[in-house]
Amino acid sequence: MKPSLLSRFIPGALLGSALLLSQPLYAQKIIDTKTLFTFHKSPKAELASRYKTYKVEYDFGKRPLTPEQAPLLKGLERTEGSADLLLKVKVRSFYIAKRNLLQAGSKEAPTFHYTITYRANCGYELIDLKNNTLLASHRSYGDYEDTPDFKSVGALNDYVDNTYLPKKGDYLLRGVLRRIDYDLNPHDFPIEVVVNTVEGGIPAYGEISKNVAVLSAMLTQPRPDKQQLAPVIATWEKYLLSANWNDKKSEINKPVANALIENLCVAYLLTED
């Protein structure tokens, strides 16, 4: 029997049921809501109230580097003498490990630059002097980058041989000082995020959206209790693990799973996880 003749032999009600079954099993509507909130970033190391003072020690090797200003640890007093904490700042042993010459521009007006691979030993350590314990640290060991373009290889080599490394030292030092401020001081950042509710006559959708309401309320609080997010995260992770990415008719299909991922990103951000 030809498929085109099938409808002649199925009563109207049964035909309607057959058409219904061809649609997704779970009616769903995902509503995304943009929210602007203030993200409170905590310091990498919680500096206990017993810490009152800190001093800074620099290690620049043989390079004549000069910080624009000493690193600041908010709430603590910097001193040159006895202190509770020692902040070691290191920017040394940076050198060019490899240079790759590249040419651009036209044949009549070529330009030249290097892709430079450099090595460095830079970072910081924050040490509790009384207990001789490391509270926080960061290290970087090099990277690669392109130089500016020059009209001749001679001018390019002059820049690399005489200007590049001094400028790189200053740049690396500023980077370490920025990292210290980011890691060790509290910061507030305005951030826009998206949270998703899922509408539909399914208990799972109701539970997902109920927890969205909890998260949305926390985004409006100046200092939310992050422990309240633990059951919210657990609920969304549970449903995400049951997602069927290839079946549009499944209860937790691809659109719902992506909505859960976006919600979890916001929750993880809020908990600094």
H helix runs in the chain, sequence order:
12-21, 153-159, 165-184, 203-219, 229-241, 254-270
Summarised one tens digit per residue, pLDDT across range 49-77 is 889 999 999 999 988 899 989 999 999 99
Listed ranges 85-89, 201-205, 221-225; the one with the highest mean pLDDT: 85-89
- This prediction has a pTM of 0.74
Identify the weakest region by mean pLDDT among 1-15, 205-219, 240-254.
1-15
Average pLDDT over residues 1-22: 38
Whether residue 2 has pLDDT greater than 50:
no
Whether residue 26 has pLDDT greater than 90:
no
The per-residue pLDDT for 25 is 55
Q: Could you tell me which residues come within 8 angstroms of residue 213 by beta carbon, excluding any fewer than 6 positions away?
A: none
Cα gap 180→44, rounded to integer Å: 10
Confidence of residue 253 (pLDDT cuts 50, 70, 90): very high
Q: 61 vs 72, 120, 170, CA distance in Å?
A: 22, 11, 13
Q: 40 vs 8, 113, 164, 176, 211, CA distance in Å?
A: 66, 42, 37, 22, 21
The per-residue pLDDT for 11 is 42
The partner residues of 113 in beta bridges, in order of sequence, read 102
Summarised one tens digit per residue, pLDDT across range 102-136 is 999 888 999 999 999 999 999 999 999 999 999 99
